[in-house]
């Protein structure tokens, strides 16, 4: 595995090229001034929109502002993520956030104004001004929010609270990425070294049980030390969600979170219930794990180690990229040429370096191209991560190319479909091209663990969010004890009774960044279930599904997520897609137990 002690050591072709957004900082500063001017200009429309033409002029300039602000913000964020310890980059991001709040404040009059018009007047404006046809769907969609928009003055106050309301998330991000110091583990030469996240993801899969135990304890050490601080940030984030839902007259925080995607809360509840109805294969897999590892007591630090020993595949980045190209060939030549463009054009930031943001993501920048952050470790997990994020990247690219700015950004709800279809195609390719029986078992084991992590674990997280928000809505105080009890009981319910709980288990909630984006994680599970269905059809050679899937990738947010999925043959308002994917899980566990 290649490790780098600083970003300067990483070869140029493995670092993204942010000059594609701004050639230099001067251009960033120029856009900063431009946005200030545009925001001021938009503010002057308050009380002055009286016909179709003035409405069109406002919307056109508003879209221009949003285009520039998106670029400016993305650049600052990507710079910070290269090195979260770099104070100069932090100040750019801080300024971008403040500017964003000022823009929100300047345009906060618009939604109350729009909803004060009766629908017939608005339709009259649209008919009288050709340019408004472009904005028509968005304007009429706004009426869906009528019951949840406040007066002009109240909206202005709320927009100014934006930065304060995001403080819990920001604080947790700082604790989790910049400040956290993990405990020490024993290095290869017998000396103590400080654990890093990259090391942890390796060590928790190590065949040496003592190494796993040591890294597990060291990893959870800071979270347990900071338990009260982190409980305070999470509690504040949940209370903010509940308060905002009340202020905006939603029945609950959950329904507020689902409203934008027009997802009925039954879809969320159905997901949790269906997963629980089909939990038996997961419990069976836990029992197989205990038997295979030959342990008297199965512990949480035994849950990630591959069950097929001696199969440590080293997959360098170049090789991983080639495997991805081969695995995704069923998606066609155009898809593959976009992937090659990602590599040749330096859209991907590959290596882990000190201070770099952990994890992986794709950020589509409209009018530029996607940027992908990785922390590549030359192993099977990293291959899957590459394939996953490139799925998001191609989705961003195709939606930007085929949709106007207004519809180019797709909902998170459909995002996970694009990434997971790629993962299913990859596992299929790897299994089909592997003759070695041990490696085949290893791959099957890996996919079962992947399924467990992307589906069952996310459903468990989704239920944790639902329960904690419901408590806050009932006025039950949220603290370390409440979070611990809730998390521990759910962990037991999902993972079965075979596991002996260390004290660390119940602190699992304290390390999850996604809890600061309310009711987000369930989309991984619905996306995963949808993707299993689609990838299976594509692999069967179903050309209709392949065509409708590629159209889906081009469709951005041109329709509501559930409707976009229905066009590909996936209907999430019924339990069938979830049940079908869970049947697949049962088959995988069955096959693995026979091997």
| Per-residue pLDDT tens over the stretch 240-261 | 999 999 999 999 999 999 999 9
Residue 146 has pLDDT above 90, yes or no: no
Q: What is the mean pLDDT of residues 407-413?
A: 92
Alpha carbons 488 and 507: distance in angstroms, whole number: 8
Alpha carbons 271 and 530: distance in angstroms, whole number: 12
Predicted TM-score (pTM) of this structure = 0.81
Q: Residues with Cβ < 8 Å from 112, sequence gap 6 or more?
A: 149, 150, 151, 152, 155
DSSP reduced 3-state for 318: helix
Residue 132 has pLDDT above 70, yes or no: yes
Closest CA to 226 of 426, 35, 10, 510: 510
According to the model, what pLDDT value does residue 550 have?
A: 98
Scan for tokens 């993305």, then name that residue.
74
Question: pLDDT tens, 561-577?
Answer: 999 999 999 999 998 88
Q: What is the mean pLDDT of residues 128-157?
A: 90
Question: pLDDT tens, 482-499?
Answer: 999 999 999 999 999 999
For strands 184-186 and 192-194, give the pairing. Answer: antiparallel
Domain residue ranges in the chain: 7-165
Give the helix ranges, DSSP H, for 297-379.
317-327, 333-344
Structural contact between residues 516 and 232, judged by C-beta atoms closer than 8 angstroms: no
Closest CA to 36 of 75, 65, 71: 65
389 counts as catalytic: yes
Catalytically annotated residue among 82, 156, 352, 389: 389
Confidence at 131, pLDDT banded by 50, 70, 90: very high
Cα-trace Rg, the chain: 25
Residue 546 has pLDDT above 80, yes or no: yes
Q: What is the mean pLDDT of residues 294-322?
A: 91
Alpha carbons 317 and 234: distance in angstroms, whole number: 36
Please give the mean pLDDT across all residues of the chain. Answer: 94
Q: What is the mean pLDDT of residues 15-37?
A: 97
According to the model, what pLDDT value does residue 67 have?
A: 98
According to the model, what pLDDT value does residue 279 have?
A: 96
Q: What is the DSSP string of 302-315?
A: GSSS-SSTT-----
Scan for tokens 């991983």, then name that residue.
320
Confidence at 48, pLDDT banded by 50, 70, 90: very high
Residue 2 has pLDDT above 70, yes or no: no
At 200, list the tokens.
């942890």
- Note the residue count of the chain: 595
Alpha carbons 267 and 574: distance in angstroms, whole number: 8
Residue 313 has pLDDT above 90, yes or no: no
**Number of helices and strands in the chain (H, E):** 27, 5
Structural contact between residues 274 and 282, judged by C-beta atoms closer than 8 angstroms: no
The string over 261-278, giving b where at least 16 C-beta atoms fall within 10 Å of a residue's C-beta and e elsewhere, is bebebebbebbbebbeeb
Distance of CA 460 to the CA centre of its chain: 16
Alpha carbons 370 and 358: distance in angstroms, whole number: 18
Neighbours of 534 (CB within 10 A): 25
For strands 348-351 and 370-376, give the pairing. Answer: parallel
Question: pLDDT tens, 437-465?
Answer: 888 888 999 899 989 999 999 999 999 99
Q: Which residues pair with 194 in a beta bridge?
A: 184
Question: pLDDT tens, 60-101?
Answer: 999 999 999 999 999 999 999 999 999 999 999 999 999 999
Closest CA to 328 of 432, 444, 447, 426: 426
| CA-to-CA dists, residue 246 to 160, 242, 310, angstroms | 18, 6, 55
Scan for tokens 């859209």, then name that residue.
347
Q: What is the mean pLDDT of residues 278-305?
A: 95
Confidence at 1, pLDDT banded by 50, 70, 90: low
At 311, list the tokens.
């199969």
Structural contact between residues 76 and 95, judged by C-beta atoms closer than 8 angstroms: yes
For strands 361-364 and 370-376, give the pairing. Answer: antiparallel
Q: Residues with Cβ < 8 Å from 67, sequence gap 6 or more?
A: 366, 367, 405
Q: What is the mean pLDDT of residues 270-295?
A: 95
For strands 370-376 and 184-186, give the pairing. Answer: unpaired
Q: Which residues pair with 371 in a beta bridge?
A: 363
**Under CATH, what is the fold of the domain 7-165?**
Butyryl-CoA Dehydrogenase, subunit A; domain 3 (1.20.140)
At 71, list the tokens.
């670029």
Q: Residues with Cβ < 8 Å from 278, sequence gap 6 or more?
A: 579, 582, 583, 585, 586
| CA-to-CA dists, residue 526 to 202, 481, 531, angstroms | 28, 30, 9
Alpha carbons 428 and 228: distance in angstroms, whole number: 44
At 386, list the tokens.
């590459």
Residue 270 has pLDDT above 90, yes or no: yes
Q: If DSSP states are collapsed to H, E and C, what string results for 451-492?
A: HHHHHHHHHHHHHHHHHHHHHHHCCCCCCHHHHHHHHHHHHH
Return the percentage of the chain with pLDDT > 90, whole number: 82
Alpha carbons 509 and 455: distance in angstroms, whole number: 17
């Amino acid at each position: 595995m290649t490790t780098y002690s600083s970003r300067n050591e990483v070869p140029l072709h493995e670092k993204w090229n942010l000059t594609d957004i701004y050639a230099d900082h001067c251009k960033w500063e120029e856009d900063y001034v431009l946005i200030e001017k545009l925001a001021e200009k938009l503010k002057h429309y308050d009380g002055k929109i009286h016909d179709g033409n003035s409405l069109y002029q406002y919307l056109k300039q508003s879209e221009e502002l949003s285009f520039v602000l998106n670029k400016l913000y993305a650049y600052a964020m990507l710079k910070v993520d290269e090195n979260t310890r770099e104070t100069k980059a932090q100040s750019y991001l801080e300024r971008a956030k403040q500017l964003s709040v000022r823009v929100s404040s300047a345009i906060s009059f618009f939604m109350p104004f729009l909803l004060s018009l009766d629908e017939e007047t608005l339709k009259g404006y649209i008919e009288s001004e050709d340019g408004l046809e472009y904005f028509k769907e968005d304007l009429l969609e706004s009426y869906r929010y009528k019951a949840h928009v406040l007066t002009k003055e109240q909206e202005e106050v709320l927009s100014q609270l934006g930065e304060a309301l995001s403080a819990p998330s920001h604080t947790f991000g700082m604790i989790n990425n910049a400040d956290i110091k993990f405990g020490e583990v024993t290095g290869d030469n017998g000396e103590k070294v400080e654990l890093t996240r990259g090391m942890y993801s390796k060590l928790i899969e190590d065949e040496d049980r003592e190494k796993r135990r040591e890294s597990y304890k060291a990893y959870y050490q800071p979270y347990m030390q900071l338990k009260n601080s982190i409980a305070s940030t999470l509690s504040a984030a949940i209370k903010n969600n509940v308060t905002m839902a009340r202020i905006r007259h939603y029945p609950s925080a959950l329904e507020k979170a689902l409203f934008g995607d027009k997802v009925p809360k039954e879809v969320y509840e159905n997901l949790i219930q269906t997963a629980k109805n089909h939990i038996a294969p997961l419990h069976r897999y836990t029992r197989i794990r205990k038997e295979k590892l030959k342990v008297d007591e199965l512990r949480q630090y035994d849950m990630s180690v591959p069950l097929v020993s001696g199969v440590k595949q080293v997959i360098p980045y170049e090789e991983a990229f080639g495997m991805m190209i081969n695995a995704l060939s069923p998606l066609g030549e155009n898809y593959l040429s976009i992937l090659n463009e990602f590599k040749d054009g330096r859209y991907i930031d590959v290596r882990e370096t000190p201070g770099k943001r952990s994890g992986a993501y794709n950020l589509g920048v409209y009018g530029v191209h996607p940027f992908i952050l990785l922390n590549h470790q030359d192993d099977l997990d990293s291959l899957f991560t590459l394939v996953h994020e490139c799925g998001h990247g191609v989705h961003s690219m195709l939606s930007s190319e085929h949709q106007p700015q207004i519809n180019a950004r797709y909902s998170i709800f459909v995002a996970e479909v694009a990434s997971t279809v790629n993962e299913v195609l990859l596992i299929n390719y790897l299994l089909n091209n592997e003759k070695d029986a041990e490696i085949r078992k290893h791959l099957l084991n890996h996919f079962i663990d992947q399924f467990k992590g992307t589906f069952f674990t996310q459903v468990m997280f989704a239920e944790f969010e639902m329960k904690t928000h419901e408590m806050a809505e009932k006025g039950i105080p949220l603290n370390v004890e409440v979070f611990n009890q809730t998390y521990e009981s759910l962990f037991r319910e999902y993972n079965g009774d075979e596991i002996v709980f260390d004290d660390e288990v119940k602190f699992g909630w304290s390390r999850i960044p996604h809890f600061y984006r309310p009711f987000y994680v369930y989309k991984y599970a619905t996306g995963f279930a949808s993707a299993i269905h689609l990838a299976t059809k594509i692999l069967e050679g179903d050309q209709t599904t392949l065509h409708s899937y590629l159209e889906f990738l081009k469709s951005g947010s041109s329709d509501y997520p559930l409707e976009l999925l229905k066009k590909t043959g996936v209907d999430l308002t019924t339990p069938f897609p979830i049940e079908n994917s869970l049947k697949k899980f049962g088959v995988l566990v069955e096959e693995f137990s026979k091997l």
